[in-house]
Structure 1
Amino acid sequence: MTQIEQSAVPADAGALPTGESPVVERMRGLRSRWPSGSGVAVFNEAYLGVVERAGPDFGGRGPDDRDAAPLGVRCAERYLSAVETATAGGRPPECWRPLLPYRRHPGVRPLQFALSGLQAHIGHDLVLAVVDRCHALGCAPPDLDGEFERMGDLLVSLEERIHEDLMPGPELLGIADPLTHLVSSWSL
Structure 2
Amino acid sequence: MAQLEESTAASARRVDAVAARLRALGAGWHTADGVGVFNRVYLTVTEEVGRRLARGAFRDPRAAALLDVRFAERYLAAVEGADRGGHVPACWRPLFQYRRHPGVHPLQFALCGINAHIGHDLAHALLDACHGLGCDPLELEDEFEQVGELLLALEERIREDLMPGPDLLQVADPLTHLLGSWSLERARDGAWSAARALWALREFPGLADEFGQRLDAAVGLVGRMLLTPLPDRTARPGAAQSSGSSTGAISS
Q: Normalising by structure 1, report the TM-score.
A: 0.78
Note the alpha carbon deviations across 1:65-98, whole angstroms, 9 max, x for none: xx98521221122111211221122121111001
Q: Is the counterpart of residue 87 in structure 1 residue 117 in structure 2?
A: no
2:141 match: secondary structure: helix
Q: CA deviation at 1:146?
A: 0.9
Does the Cα contact within 8 Å between 1:99 and 1:117 map onto a contact in 2? yes
- Counterpart position of 2:140: 144
- Counterpart position of 2:173: 177
Q: CA deviation at 1:58?
A: 5.5
Structure 1: runs of 5 or more not aligned? 1-14
- Counterpart position of 1:44: 39
Does the Cα contact within 8 Å between 2:49 and 2:147 map onto a contact in 1? no
- Counterpart position of 2:128: 132
Q: Using a 3 Å threshold, how does the CA distance of structure 1 residues 172 and 101 change in structure 2: closer, same or farther? A: closer
1 CA distance for matches of 2:117 and 2:15? Answer: 23
Structure 2: runs of 5 or more not aligned? 1-9, 185-252
Aligned positions, number: 170
Q: Using a 3 Å threshold, how does the CA distance of structure 1 residues 175 and 142 change in structure 2: closer, same or farther? A: closer
State which structure, 1 or 2, has the greater radius of gyration over its C-alpha atoms. 2
2 CA distance for matches of 1:68 and 1:175? Answer: 39
Give runs of ≥4 in structure 1 deviating > 4 Å.
none
Q: CA deviation at 1:184?
A: 4.0
Residue identity over aligned pairs, in percent, reads 58
Does the Cα contact within 8 Å between 1:42 and 1:110 map onto a contact in 2? yes
Correspondence list, 1:10-89, <5 A: 16-18=11-13, 21-57=16-52, 61-62=61-62, 69-89=65-85
Q: Using a 3 Å threshold, how does the CA distance of structure 1 residues 74 and 158 change in structure 2: closer, same or farther? A: farther
Q: CA deviation at 1:19?
A: 8.0
- Greater shift, 76-85 or 23-32, is seen at 76-85
Cα RMSD (Å): 2.5
- Counterpart position of 2:190: none
Q: CA deviation at 1:179?
A: 1.7
Paired letter, 2:129: R
Q: CA deviation at 1:159?
A: 2.2
2 CA distance for matches of 1:43 and 1:85? Answer: 17
Q: CA deviation at 1:126?
A: 0.2
1:139 match: secondary structure: coil
Q: CA deviation at 1:173?
A: 2.4
Paired letter, 1:140: D
Q: Normalising by structure 2, report the TM-score.
A: 0.60
Does the Cα contact within 8 Å between 1:130 and 1:141 map onto a contact in 2? yes
